[in-house]
């Protein structure tokens, strides 16, 4: 029995899959401050035009430039593992597979898009990229890509993670990235927040505002902003994960997958693995597709589908997405990359359509799952990833109760070797489950009052 399925470099997918071409019901457009759909040129101060073209593309398949593939070969195709030892420990008849994105140089799936984004920026003549980072995975992934392509990289890292994960900053430094804690005193957005809340743990929404502000105020015109999740082009670059997984399952004769799982912060690793399988579901296959979020930041399971900004200072357009409100500051759980108030519009639209079924899991169950995984499969996963593992274990237990030999596939989005503080707090009994009180959700949702309300469009098929 194969427990590790590898592809040769010449078997790597040569096109990304764009699910926008196959949505059963259309996605609503992003809106500008006047409430009207934005045009691509309105995004030009923020992103290079070649990435904006991808953002709005309706082409089903988009070629991956050869130079990008040449960088990806450093670690791709990534292995698909059969979690045989976890299966044995659970005594489940289910077959559990995971795509191992932790093998990338920065330790997560984020390099799949950081390399692509840095390359397109460079093609467009950009010299410096600004960004935000939660847990530090995205900041290190972008620093890595910029180092290879000779671009300057500036990262605003959410304060709480900056303090919890000091070595992530060092990783960014090794790859020549300049990382500061957010909110910082370098931007108007940061200074305003610090004046009101000097002890804030920060949030991705604040860090995004700072990074966009610094990009658009650079008078040389040679700086652009880069986002590590949420946007269509980011999700597009991640689809190489699911496309490889399909080839790998095919290689070992696994004809049908029953359950596909990914943790969801802004939605990119979940989308990357699942979108090629969602296409099968659109075409009639029966697959449960599950994005998993923390109970303490329940964007899709408790938030409304709304038009909202992607950041606190309202610098981004209004995106049609599940949201807890743009000024929501999530409790400081250790899965920093899942502490985001919104969800990718493409993922949100699939949830509206009923093609995917979001699930929320408490922090302690996730750490228990992560420890069980490490003690069976060996890999110490990122706290974000533990949400996917916890859901896979729930599904494997369900298969055991029902006596069904289900095939479960999840995304091992990253390793947790820089996240050991969270594990330490878990072993010391210092972590607790936190369910966001309804009053707190209602308070945060006041931020979207008065904004345009999206029409729900769905076929009702799923």
Residues that bind ligand PLP (CB under 6 A): 108, 134-135, 137-138, 229, 263-270, 337-338, 382, 384-385, 413-414
CB-wise, 5 or 135, nearer to ligand PLP? Answer: 135
**At closest approach, how far in Å is the CB of 78 from ligand PLP?**
13
Smallest separation, CB 149 to ligand PLP (Å):
21
Q: How far is the CB of 382 from ligand PLP (least distance, A)?
A: 4
How many other C-beta atoms are found inside a 10 Å radius of the C-beta of residue 359? 21
> For residues 303 and 414, which CB has a smaller minimum distance to ligand PLP in the complex?
414
Nearer to ligand PLP, 204 or 399 (CB): 204
Side-by-side strand order, sheet with 177-182: 177-182, 152-158, 128-133, 223-225
SS in 3 state form for 19-76? HHHHCCCCCCCCECCCCCECCHHHHCCCCCHHHHHHHHCCCCEEECCHHHHHHHCCCC
CA–CA gap between residue 187 and residue 213 (Å, rounded): 7
Query: Nearer to ligand PLP by C-beta: 138 or 275?
Result: 138
Instruction: For the chain, report the end-to-end CA distance as a whole number of angstroms.
Output: 35
CA distances from 250 to 11, 80, 255 (A): 12, 11, 7
Residue number with the shortest CB distance to ligand PLP? Answer: 337
The token pair that represents 213 in the structure block: 């502000």
CA dist 39 and 31 (Å) reads 9
Q: Is 295 exposed, middle or buried (0-12, 13-18, 19+ CB in 10 A)?
A: buried
Min CB(101)–ligand PLP separation in Å: 8
Closer Cβ to ligand PLP, 121 or 229, answer by number:
229
Spatial CA neighbour of 128 closest among 156, 153, 145: 153
Q: Would you state the structure tokens that stand for residue 373, as one six-digit string?
A: 């995984």
Instruction: Note whether 363 and 296 are within 8 A (CB).
Output: yes
> How far is Cα 95 from Cα 437, in angstroms, rounded to an integer?
37
Largest CA distance in the chain: 64
d(CA 412, CA 105) in angstroms, rounded, equals 15
Q: Min. distance of Cβ 289 from ligand PLP in angstroms?
A: 14
Minimum CB distance to ligand PLP smaller for 134 or for 332: 134
Q: Which residue lies nearer to ligand PLP by CB, 95 or 298?
A: 298
Least distance in Å: CB of 341 to ligand PLP? 13
Least Å distance, CB 386 to ligand PLP, is 9
Residue located via tokens 């457009």? 29
Looking at the Cβ atoms of 215 and 366, the one nearer to ligand PLP is: 366
Work out how close the CB of 127 gets to ligand PLP at its nearest, in angstroms, rounded to a whole number. Answer: 25
Report the b/e string of 79-92 with b at 16+ CB within 10 A.
Answer: bbbbbbbbbebbeb
Choose between 292 and 315: whose C-beta lies nearer to ligand PLP: 292
Query: 221 Cβ partners below 8 Å, 6+ apart?
Result: none
Name the residue nearer to ligand PLP (CB basis): 268 or 296. 268
Which of residues 163 and 192 has its CB atom nearest to ligand PLP in the complex? 163
Shortest CB 91 distance to ligand PLP, Å? 28
CB of 265 or CB of 303, closer to ligand PLP: 265
| Token pair 């995984």 in the structure block, residue | 373
Distance CA 420, CA 51 (A): 35
CB of 263 to ligand PLP, least distance (A): 5
Return the exposure string of 5-18: e unless at least 16 CB atoms fall within 10 Å of the residue's CB, then b: bebeeeebbeebbb
Least separation in angstroms between CB 387 and ligand PLP = 8
In the complex, least distance from residue 420 CB atom to ligand PLP, rounded to whole angstroms = 14
């Amino acid at each position: 029995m194969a427990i590790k399925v590898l592809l040769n470099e010449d078997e790597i997918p040569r096109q990304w899959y764009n699910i926008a071409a196959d949505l059963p019901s259309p996605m609503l457009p992003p809106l500008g401050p006047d409430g009207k759909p934005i045009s691509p040129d309105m995004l030009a101060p923020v992103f290079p035009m070649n990435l904006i073209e991808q953002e709005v593309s309706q082409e089903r398949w988009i070629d991956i430039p050869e130079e990008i593939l040449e960088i990806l070969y450093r670690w791709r195709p990534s292995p698909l593992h059969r979690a045989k030892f976890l299966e044995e420990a659970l005594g489940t008849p289910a077959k559990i597979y995971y795509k191992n994105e932790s093998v990338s140089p920065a330790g997560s799936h984020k390099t799949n898009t950081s390399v692509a984004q840095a390359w397109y920026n460079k093609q467009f003549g950009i010299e410096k990229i600004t960004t935000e980072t939660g847990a530090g995975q995205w900041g290190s992934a972008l620093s890595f890509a910029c180092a290879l392509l000779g671009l300057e990289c500036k990262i605003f890292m959410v304060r709480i993670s900056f303090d919890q994960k000091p070595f992530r900053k060092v990783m960014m430094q090794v790859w020549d990235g300049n990382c500061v804690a957010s909110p910082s005193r370098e931007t108007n957005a940061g200074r305003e927040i610090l004046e009101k809340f000097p002890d804030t743990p920060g949030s991705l929404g604040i860090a995004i505002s700072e990074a966009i502000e610094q990009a658009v105020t650079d008078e040389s015109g040679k700086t652009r902003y880069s986002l590590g999740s949420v946007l269509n082009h980011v999700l597009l670059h991640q689809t190489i994960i699911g496309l490889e997984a399909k080839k790998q399952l095919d290689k070992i004769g696994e004809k049908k997958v029953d359950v596909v799982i990914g943790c969801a912060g802004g939605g990119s690793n979940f989308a990357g693995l699942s979108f090629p399988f969602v296409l099968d579901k659109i075409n009639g296959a029966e697959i449960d597709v599950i994005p998993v979020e923390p109970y303490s930041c329940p964007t899709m399971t408790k938030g409304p589908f709304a038009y909202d900004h992607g950041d606190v200072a309202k610098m981004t357009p209004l995106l049609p997405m599940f949201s807890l409100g743009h000024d929501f500051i999530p409790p400081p759980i250790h899965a920093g990359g899942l502490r985001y108030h919104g969800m990718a519009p493409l993922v949100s639209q699939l949830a509206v359509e009923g093609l995917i079924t979001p699930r929320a899991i408490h922090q302690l169950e996730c750490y228990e799952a992560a420890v069980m995984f490490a003690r069976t499969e060996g890999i110490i996963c990122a706290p974000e990833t533990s949400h996917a593992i916890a859901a896979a274990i729930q599904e494997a237990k369900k298969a055991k109760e029902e006596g069904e030999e289900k095939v479960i596939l999840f995304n091992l989005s990253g390793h947790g070797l820089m996240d050991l503080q969270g594990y330490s707090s878990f072993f010391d009994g210092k972590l607790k489950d936190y369910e966001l009180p309804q009053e707190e959700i209602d308070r945060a949702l006041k931020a979207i009052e008065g904004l345009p309300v999206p029409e729900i469009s769905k076929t009702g098929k799923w």
